[in-house]
Amino acid sequence: MSEARLTFAALLLAAVSQPALAQSQPAMEGGKSNSATSNEIETIVVTAQRRSENLQNVPIAVSVITAASLQQTSSMQLIDINILVPSINLHNSAGYLVTSLRGVGSTAKGPGVENPIALYVDGVYYPGAGNSLLSFNNIDQIEVLRGPQGTLFGRNATGGLIQIKTRTPGGPLTGDFNVSYGNYNTVSGQAYVGGELAKGIAADIALTYTHQGNGWGTNLFNGRDVYKIDHDVGIRSKWVFGASDRTRFTVIGDYAEREDSMTALYLLPGTISSLAPAAGGAPVDPKPGIAPYNINTDAQPFTRNWSGGVSARWDQEIGDLKLMNLSAWRKGHVSPTLEFDGTSVPGAFVTPNASIETFTHEIQLSSGDQGRLKWTAGGFYINSVAKFDPFHLLSARLTREINVVAKATTQSVAGYGQASYEFGPGTTLTLGGRYTWERRRTTDTLQTVANALTGAILVSSVGPDRMISYSKFTFRGSLDHRLSDQVMAYASVNRGFKSGGFNVNQLGTPAYLPETLDAYEAGLKMDLLDRRLRFNLAGFYYNYTNLQVQRIISGATIVINAGVAKIYGVEGELTAKVTDKLTLTGNISLLNPKYTAFEGCLRTSPTGGPTTIGSCTDNTFQLAARTSFNMAANYRVPLGRGTLDLNANLYYNGGFFTQPDNAIRQGNYALVGASARYKFDNGLMMGVFGRNLTNKPVITNQATSPEGNQMFYNDAPRTYGVSLGYSF
């Protein structure tokens, strides 16, 4: 990393030494600069500090993905943003969203288990990782806040958060329609219509649909397709009521459903399956260098995932103050069927049927945007009920059946506040704090072990009701100074906190403890060359204690606490407006995530065999790439009776380990994508797109069974297609 640091240092020195511009930052209007020309980079407005601000004035490392960026890269799902954000790694793990950001993340899943990278959609917190594999239909902007956000966003934003903002209807009626057809007989469609219905009332509706006719592979055991999306459907509607210029009510409803066979586990070639030794662990696709999308298992993989909810928000201006009330109810269910021996010999499979129902309420009062002092204060409440109904495991050559029914409840309340004061020309001090109290409880736990052939109950155990409470104070302090009209420097210290809980699927296991992350960060934000070049840089150091990691016992994923970890790294993001037609973007992440004390780690070998409990001290975090970067070029030019939009992008990942024992590693890889769209002046659009054009195989998830089987499934192969759209 030393050469990279020297390079960054040189860039910093060059940037800081740039002379100050005569004019100040342009005013913002509608999310863009109202004085920007076609040669300037547009001003981006974010709400990283719970108020609308220019991205370049916010002392937080924030990556922003616009709707245009999603179109240019042909991104269809939340997990596709990997190629756009430095140091992030998103995966589908048996229907659950698994996230790693700057090395902070967890592959653990199940009732009551929340992600350390919080997800918000239109201000609503989504605690269920099993209901977070969102497909896009009306995205306005995605903000990825890197680093702990425990003050303004709460207990489970240890490593950062993802904020998704959907379009808000208003003004004349508008519409966007798009259909596409790709290889594997994949048909997708999106539709959006919104606008003002009457004075003071605006509404929209957004629809998305995907069906994949052919899978990426085949289950050789039964001849059925695998890695196939049977259907992915979503509907979302937003209603805005403006009682006056100072009062606004917003009501949102949504529902999404997905059925697929993406969790097509296969046994790592060369691994011996102790659950089915007769199979010998023989690979089903021996072609070297080709991802084995074909499997050969007696259990057909299948995952059903649905979620929905409603939210109501009240925004009120009271003099110079702004009041916000937001209530939301959500419910979801995820039910994967997972083969656990990877062979056609009857061995084991598990179906963890999990559901979650959540109510949240937040109230917030903030100052106006003028003056030297700006502040925000609020309170947050969550009540969540998560269940296994049931967790089902068939094992021991399909002769033993285990069922677990359990419920985990979470109640949490928090109060927070943050204030920023400009005490000198261009110098602002920000201080904030949050106090969180939380109670976790597990009840109604029943485990039965039966003879699967006769149905006779062998063991029936009732787990005792258990309860535990946690409280934590998290804080933020930052100092930023505008070195010139072009350059802002900042330094911050933050604490993040992720609550503990119970492993409801394993009777008798102790509660896992909360994890805490203390972060120290410094950065620069620069708009140079008359705002034709934007370069943002951040360096950080994390001290991470009691971090929660995954372990698999008897087919069930549980959470345990590792000891201590250290993470440090640097990130850079670049946008260059080369001409009014050509824009270049790029980002880079250099990361060093390491467990400095981790005993009690599940260890195995790449060839399988019995697992052992040992030390993972000095190992690298799972899913964390030490080096990653992307580059993209977008060329947009008027042509004939419309506009031609060309995009090419490259994403490089230096490779990552899939588990803390570092036994299995995804090697370095590069993904290449491209798209071309022509939009006529009358609103008609035609396009072509391609993703992973070099057909590079990439592991999307890996699990080690207690017997030592190494199980994998993969990300998408080469996909491409054509699209047709219309907007008005």
The DSSP H or E segment spanning 9 is helix 2-16
Is the model's pLDDT at 108 over the cut of 80?
no
pLDDT attached to residue 130: 65
The two tokens of residue 48 are 């990283």
Least confident window among 32-36, 136-140, 266-270, 449-453: 32-36
C-alpha span between 724 and 232 (Å, rounded): 19
Write the CB contacts of 691 (distance below 8 Å, at least 6 apart in sequence).
73, 74, 671, 673, 716, 718, 719, 720
C-alpha distances out from residue 648 to 142, 203, 562, 632, Å: 21, 35, 41, 6
pLDDT attached to residue 259: 95
294-314: pLDDT as tens digits = 888 888 999 999 999 999 999
Is the model's pLDDT at 80 over the cut of 60?
yes
* Section 112-139 average pLDDT: 83
pLDDT attached to residue 598: 92
Tell me which long-range contacts 477-483 makes (C-beta under 8 A, separation of at least 24): 477/429, 477/430, 477/431, 477/432, 478/59, 478/60, 478/429, 478/430, 479/59, 479/427, 479/428, 479/429, 479/430, 480/59, 480/427, 480/428, 480/430, 481/426, 481/427, 481/428, 482/426, 482/427, 483/16, 483/426
Helix, strand, coil shares of the chain as percentages rounded to 5?
A: 5, 60, 35
598-628: pLDDT as tens digits = 988 888 877 766 778 889 999 999 889 999 9
C-alpha span between 233 and 268 (Å, rounded): 33
C-alpha span between 13 and 19 (Å, rounded): 12
465-491: pLDDT as tens digits = 899 999 999 999 999 999 999 999 999
pLDDT attached to residue 273: 60
Write the CB contacts of 495 (distance below 8 Å, at least 6 apart in sequence).
148, 150, 473, 474, 475, 476, 516, 517, 518, 519
pLDDT attached to residue 16: 36
pLDDT attached to residue 1: 44
Is the model's pLDDT at 512 over the cut of 50?
yes
Is the model's pLDDT at 630 over the cut of 50?
yes
- CATH classification number, 2-727, choose in 2.102.10.10, 3.40.50.620, 3.10.450.750, 2.40.170.20: 2.40.170.20
Of 127, 133, 162, 129, nearest to 382 by C-alpha is 127
List the domain boundaries for the chain: 2-727
Sign, CA torsion 447/451/455/459: negative
Is the model's pLDDT at 566 over the cut of 80?
yes
Q: Identify the bridge partners of residue 85 per DSSP, sorted by sequence position.
A: none
C-alpha 44, offset from chain centre: 21
| 107 vs 212, higher pLDDT | 212
Least confident window among 32-36, 135-139, 599-603, 708-712: 32-36
3-class SS of residue 436: strand
Band (70; pLDDT cuts 50, 70, 90): confident
Which pTM does this prediction carry? 0.90
Other residues' Cβ atoms within 10 Å of the Cβ of residue 173: 13
* Section 702-720 average pLDDT: 81
Band (134; pLDDT cuts 50, 70, 90): confident
8-state DSSP, 667: P
C-alpha span between 299 and 124 (Å, rounded): 37
Q: Do residues 564 and 597 lie in contact, with contact meaning Cβ atoms separated by under 8 Å?
A: yes
Is the model's pLDDT at 281 over the cut of 60?
no
- Report the half-sphere exposure of 552 (CA within 13 A, side-chain side): 22
The two tokens of residue 179 are 């259909």
Name the percent of the chain lying above pLDDT 90. Answer: 60
* Section 560-568 average pLDDT: 91
Q: Do residues 635 and 582 lie in contact, with contact meaning Cβ atoms separated by under 8 Å?
A: yes
C-alpha span between 128 and 136 (Å, rounded): 18
pLDDT attached to residue 14: 38
3-class SS of residue 288: coil
C-alpha span between 444 and 404 (Å, rounded): 10
400 burial (CB, 10 Å; 0-12 / 13-18 / 19+) is middle
Write the CB contacts of 33 (distance below 8 Å, at least 6 apart in sequence).
26, 27, 40, 42, 43
Band (284; pLDDT cuts 50, 70, 90): very low
Band (285; pLDDT cuts 50, 70, 90): very low
The DSSP H or E segment spanning 470 is strand 466-482
The two tokens of residue 362 are 């937040």
pLDDT attached to residue 5: 41
Mean pLDDT, all residues of the chain: 87
**DSSP strand E in 546-620: where?**
548-553, 556-561, 564-577, 582-597, 599-603, 612-615
Of 654, 658, 634, nearest to 646 by C-alpha is 634
Band (453; pLDDT cuts 50, 70, 90): confident
Amino acid at 601: C
Q: Which residues of 525-541 are buried (b: 16+ CB within 10 A; e: fewer)?
A: bbbbeebbbbbbbbbbe
Q: Which residues of 596-611 are buried (b: 16+ CB within 10 A; e: fewer)?
A: eebeebbbbbeebeeb
C-alpha distances out from residue 649 to 78, 272, 586, 693, Å: 17, 39, 9, 11
Q: Do residues 485 and 506 lie in contact, with contact meaning Cβ atoms separated by under 8 Å?
A: no
Query: ∠ CA(597), CA(599), CA(603), 5° rounding?
Result: 120
Is the model's pLDDT at 168 over the cut of 70?
yes
* Section 195-217 average pLDDT: 95
Q: Which residues of 339-364 are buried (b: 16+ CB within 10 A; e: fewer)?
A: bbbbbbbbbbbbbbbbbbbbebbbeb
3-class SS of residue 342: coil
37-52: pLDDT as tens digits = 578 899 999 999 999 9
C-alpha distances out from residue 403 to 108, 388, 437, 502, Å: 20, 9, 33, 18
Name the percent of the chain lying above pLDDT 70. Answer: 89
* Section 356-383 average pLDDT: 96
Q: Do residues 522 and 477 lie in contact, with contact meaning Cβ atoms separated by under 8 Å?
A: no
Q: Do residues 226 and 265 lie in contact, with contact meaning Cβ atoms separated by under 8 Å?
A: no
DSSP for 56-78 reads GG-SSEEEEEEHHHHHHTT--BG
428-439: pLDDT as tens digits = 999 999 999 999
C-alpha span between 697 and 217 (Å, rounded): 13
632-689: pLDDT as tens digits = 999 999 999 999 999 999 999 999 998 888 988 899 999 999 999 999 999 999 999 9
Tell me which long-range contacts 527-531 makes (C-beta under 8 A, separation of at least 24): 527/41, 527/56, 527/486, 528/15, 528/18, 528/486, 528/487, 530/21, 530/39, 530/40, 531/36, 531/40, 531/41, 531/577
pLDDT attached to residue 276: 52
Q: Identify the bridge partners of residue 722 per DSSP, sorted by sequence position.
A: 181, 688
Q: Do residues 48 and 61 lie in contact, with contact meaning Cβ atoms separated by under 8 Å?
A: no
Is the model's pLDDT at 397 over the cut of 90?
no
C-alpha span between 410 and 498 (Å, rounded): 13
3-13: pLDDT as tens digits = 444 333 333 33
